[in-house]
Amino acid sequence: MQGVIAAFAELDSTVHAIEDLRKQNFRDISVFSPVPRHELEEAIAAPESKVRRFTLIGGLLGLTFGYWIPIWISDYWPLVVGGKAVASWIPYTIIGFELMVLIGSLSTVFGMFALSRIPRLTMTVGYDPRFSHGDFGVWVAAGPDRAPEASELLRRHGALEVRNER
């Protein structure tokens, strides 16, 4: 994908550059930052993360599975222990809870991986090691017709370096 990448030293310059890019109808914008910042999240105005759905579904599946295993085992070997019902749901709550946490956590991680598109075998165009060190990066998709406009806007906001990527 063709576009322009710019490195910024300051947070507020990055935020204002993103806001101006959006005003100029540049839609495909990504920002790289060494830390998560609410200011950048607001400037990008990305929708709420969908990781929560994975968490909920994984947790419910784990809970169901965690009750089902001991109930099935108890029915398979119907031994009365301590005068309690063959399938006693109260002690099985422990297994249900543990598996809810286990499967819920693993599916949360799976959801994060799927939505963030990691693991990634190659770094995508435009990444610079500075973005994990101290600088902020702004990537904007722009064809040859709009790239000069985007570069000019990013420079005007104090970018340390602006370059075209393909």
- Enumerate residues 45-84 that contact other proteins by CB under 8 A: 46, 49, 51-52, 55, 59, 66, 69-70, 73-74, 76-77, 79, 81-82, 84
Element (H, E) at 11: helix 11-23
**Which positions from 103 to 132 touch other proteins by CB under 8 A, shown as an x/- string?**
-xxx-xx-xxx-xxxxxxxxxx--x-x-xx
- Enumerate residues 12-51 that contact other proteins by CB under 8 A: 12-13, 15-17, 20, 30-42, 44, 46, 49, 51
Q: Residue 127 has what DSSP assignment?
A: -
For the chain, give the number of residues. 166
Helix (H, G, I), strand (E, B), or coil: what is residue 54? helix
Is 95 one of the binding residues for other proteins (CB under 8 A)? Answer: yes
Shortest CB 158 distance to other proteins, Å: 6
Amino acid at 9: A
**CB nearer to other proteins: pick between 2 and 28:** 28
Shortest CB 37 distance to other proteins, Å: 7
Is 94 one of the binding residues for other proteins (CB under 8 A)? Answer: yes
Cα(42)–Cα(16) distance, rounded to whole angstroms? 11
Rg from Cα positions in the chain: 25
Q: Residue 49 has what DSSP assignment?
A: P
